Amino acid sequence: MGSFPWRWLVYSQKVKSSDIFIRDSSCVSDYALLLFGGALTTQGSTLSMCNGYASFSASSDVGTLVVALRSAMDDILQRKIENPSMDIDAEGQGLVDAVVKLLSSEQAHFASPSPRCVSPYLSLCLCLCLCLCLCL
C-alpha cells in the first residue's frame, strides 16, 4: 500500500456499512490546512485547530502573519461569493497569486507525526503575501 504525500486528509462524506468508508477524499498540505482549515487558535508558539487535534509550532510573528493572511483570504472569498462576477485577480491585487505560490512551494518532506514547526521559509512567504496584498 502506498503512502500519502501529506498527513492531512479531507473528505466530503463518511459512510458506515459493513465498515467505515470515506468518499471524495484528498490529501492537503500543512499550509493549505493553516490557510483554509477550520477555526484557528493561537497560543504562544502554537497554532491549532479542531480543538488541538491539528497543531503547529511557530513563532508568534508567524502566527500573526498566518491569521492576517487567512483574514485577507476569507475577506476576498466572501466578497466573491456575494458578487460572483467580481474579478478576483483584480480585487485581490496579487493576494491569490501569492497564496498559490506559497502553496505550490511547499514540499512534502515532513514526516514527523508530532506537532510541526512552521519553517522560516513560511515566514518569508507570508510576509511577501501580505506585502503584495496590502501594498499594491
pLDDT tens digits for range 5-24: 777 888 888 899 999 988 88
40 falls within a domain = yes
Query: 79: pLDDT confidence band, cut at 50, 70 and 90?
Result: very high
3 falls within a domain = no
23 falls within a domain = yes
Looking at the structure of the chain, the number of domains it has is: 1
Q: Is the pLDDT assigned to residue 38 strictly greater than 60? A: yes
2 falls within a domain = no
Average confidence score pLDDT of the chain: 76
35 falls within a domain = yes
Q: What 3-state DSSP class applies to 4?
A: coil
1 falls within a domain = no
Alpha-carbon span 30 to 116, nearest angstrom: 9
68 falls within a domain = yes
Residue numbers of the domain that contains 41: 8-135
